[in-house]
Chains A and B, each alone.
Chain A
């Protein structure tokens, strides 16, 4: 029993503290965002969020003391299989909300899939190897296997459709594969090609939008394989001031909210744009909660938020550094990259640095599945901190 409790003495305290503060901020921001609404369900959403955080914290506490190596041995495969099965199920039976078939009741399998991919990749590429297996696991066969591990769920998620979640798997999986030095040359080539293609597409949209004649525009668009709503987002990203009452409305209102927050903000619950409904209530608690935070807590609030995330990320990487085992390192790197990608994409799209993709802000946005999943992931990270030092 003493040995069991003493594990808690070895946890990373910075990471825990940062996480708790962020969860608290999330609860208060959802309370503030929901308070401006008339419906009672939205008014009380913050309590639901708080209870979910409590459940998440239990999961966190349990995972902290479980040795991640044993957990990976037992669960990596099954969890991945279950996640994929649920992704298939959601395509068949899921509830449609906000233009996507993403929910099994209150559960979003795509969020679980993010963690499942990390766990399986860490398990596959982090196990101790001997000279015989190594070339197979880290050569071209290993590379294809890695691509399949994140490619299958990504494809299923893309079919929902949920482009943002599918895309966020890409940097997470690639960073992990690169860290494990799997088929490095090919993966780097694929990555660079992908970036090139994305850049070309953006450039094409830019050129198309600068055409004065509609038929020229249509001809260029007919050559790029993007759907209308995706084109719309790229257009808003490239020309944010062009359609401020239509497609560009959300981004503009988010930017006004953020900008008008100034140094110290307007005070929690006093954000005029959110309260008066300029920042659409449908997004103010989820994808655009950062705009609410920036308006009400100002630049200082935003800076604090960034520092809190940085606290989690850097202590996560410190955990990886200290860990004496590849599985732990890969797990820590994967989880850090996942958190980082969400934070970066969410904030960058709110301030117009990236095209709008619906990604939640970890620990802060309302969204029950993702909250529990991210807390579970941080629990695994703590487990690496606790158990990763050396074999007991």
Chain B
């Protein structure tokens, strides 16, 4: 025979060898590297979808709800049910046409553009597309009746932010916009590293401004996640196939709801403070001088955060930012003003620390002369000889110019820094400005001019380049109230007070200045602060003149605290373009104090 048996045996060996190569390769793929491939498979067939956490409420100190969530009725579209064969654009067209049809059936205007539909189909087709948000009850009911005629569309209820008190404490609370609920900080999604691209979530409420912004993560909680199988085109598989593949759902992670945020605010004080500022431009801060708790903080003019929900529209944005009103700006922390005479207690303390004696007198002749340069006292004829306490009571400019010049710039700057001026207080909302405590370098940098003796003089009476925020002045008032401790103001009740920092001035000096401030409200420029109050208070007025020529205007101030012996409230208030601290601001501070402490029997309202 031509065909030998050995050839057949050889062929058999070839077959065996070839098959064992296949077998070994398969073994390597399916057992050794199986985990690797299973991982790849999971990555490409599952999308991790965020489950929104419920956002916490914001409460005042006694539990009044300043912000919470309400249900919002939405219509969503499950894209896979409208999925078309072929090109992506076929599906986009189908969804687009279905949205149009539904819009005319419900008599609504379209809320999603074709571009949004296309983007959703391309990037997040495993998520339902929200077609309308926040529908009224009637439209919702009408849709519910006709839903059968519109396959793929479905009702959904989402949460939307609500501020029950409207404008109350708007600047403190802030508002929410749309964003990734977990924030842009490293979140659950990033922790998973490579699989981040497969993490989808609906844009949810994200805090912006105020405590909504500062405590966003606290309020927002952590979104949970569920695992969604997707087909090769990124859609959820239709039901038939989905049934057999449902076991991926086992790995779902429940969301951790956000926590309620309890603030130190007292809505009664807050409302009164806002009422006093309602007709002017300005700001006020009420602190508890014992630990720095913010009892009220207001900025005028104000806005209603409900108008910022669900997100800022261009119109609302313009109304929040347009000058001069700048309704969205929290003037209490992000605007800085010259403090005027309210700075004089600090000048007085600096002088006492440098050796000025309480009984040393200075003769005010109505003008202070430094070479060619003159500074007029507000009393044209002069106050005559005054000691420190009297000078505070009369708010004598020449007196303080004199001691300021005597102790020198550095002592003033140091004292200002000791009271926390020139740096942020560290309050737990964003947007704080540090203000300015000028020195030689600063002036050189910003004005390219040397430091003149007149600058020291201006600074000692709180004018010139010195700039402070109302919150900083409230902290100064609190420090004078509590005997010299600079507190860190705070809004989140649970965060608690940090122990304050003592100013390096003797208790006697501080007591002398406090007495001076008591004289101010008893006999001096601030009589209207105390008028008719059930408790004794102390304070200091200020009237800072700024600008030149036509632009010349006065920002008027009061810092005050009460009760005098054991103060529980410290306040700073500024009103732009006022007449004087004593006339414009003092009555407003008086009203706030009245609200807190009540009025003397038979005491007359102003």
Which A positions have Cβ atoms within 8 angstroms of B?
Answer: 36, 125-126, 138, 175, 178-181, 255-263, 269-270, 272-273, 275-278, 294, 298-299, 302-303, 306, 309-310, 313-314, 317, 320-321, 324-326, 329-330, 333, 336-337, 340, 344, 347-348, 351, 353
Contacts and interface: CB of A to CB of B under 8 A. Distances in A.
Contacts of B421: none
Given A178-B7, A258-B37, A302-B30, 13 more contacts: A256-B37, A259-B38, A262-B34, A263-B34, A275-B244, A275-B245, A276-B237, A277-B233, A294-B26, A313-B12, A320-B8, A321-B8, A333-B7
Contacts of B21: 353
Nearest to A264: B30
Contact of A299 (B8, B11, B30, B233): B30
Given A255-B37, A259-B33, A317-B12, A273 B5 contact: no
10 contacts: A256-B40, A257-B41, A258-B30, A275-B237, A275-B244, A299-B30, A313-B12, A336-B15, A337-B11, A351-B22
B232 interface: yes
Interface of B: 1-3, 5, 7-9, 11-12, 15-16, 18-19, 21-23, 25-27, 29-31, 33-34, 36-38, 40-41, 44-45, 229-233, 237, 241, 244-245
B30 A263 contact: yes
Contacts of A314: 12, 15
B577 to A, nearest CB: 65
Contacts of A258: 26, 29-30, 37
B30 A298 contact: yes
A272 B15 CA distance: 33
Contact of A278 (B5, B26, B37, B44): B44
Nearest to A252: B40
Contacts of A347: 22, 26
B45 A313 contact: no
Given A272-B45, A276-B230, A333 B11 contact: yes
Contacts of B22: 306, 344, 347-348, 351, 353
A321 B5 contact: yes
Given A336-B11, A344-B22, A299 B27 contact: yes
A254 to B, nearest CB: 10
Contacts of B229: 272, 276
A347 B27 CA distance: 13
Contacts of B27: 299
Nearest to A37: B241
Contacts of A326: 1-3
B245 to A, nearest CB: 6
Nearest to A181: B2
Contacts of A336: 11, 15
A385 to B, nearest CB: 14
B11 A261 contact: no
A351 B233 contact: no
Contact of A273 (B23, B31, B41): B41
B44 to A, nearest CB: 7
Contact of B18 (A269, A324, A344): A344
Nearest to B245: A272
Nearest to B238: A38
A303 B38 contact: no
A340 B5 CA distance: 19
Contacts of A277: 231-233
Given A272-B229, A353-B25, A262 B11 contact: no
A291 B229 CA distance: 20
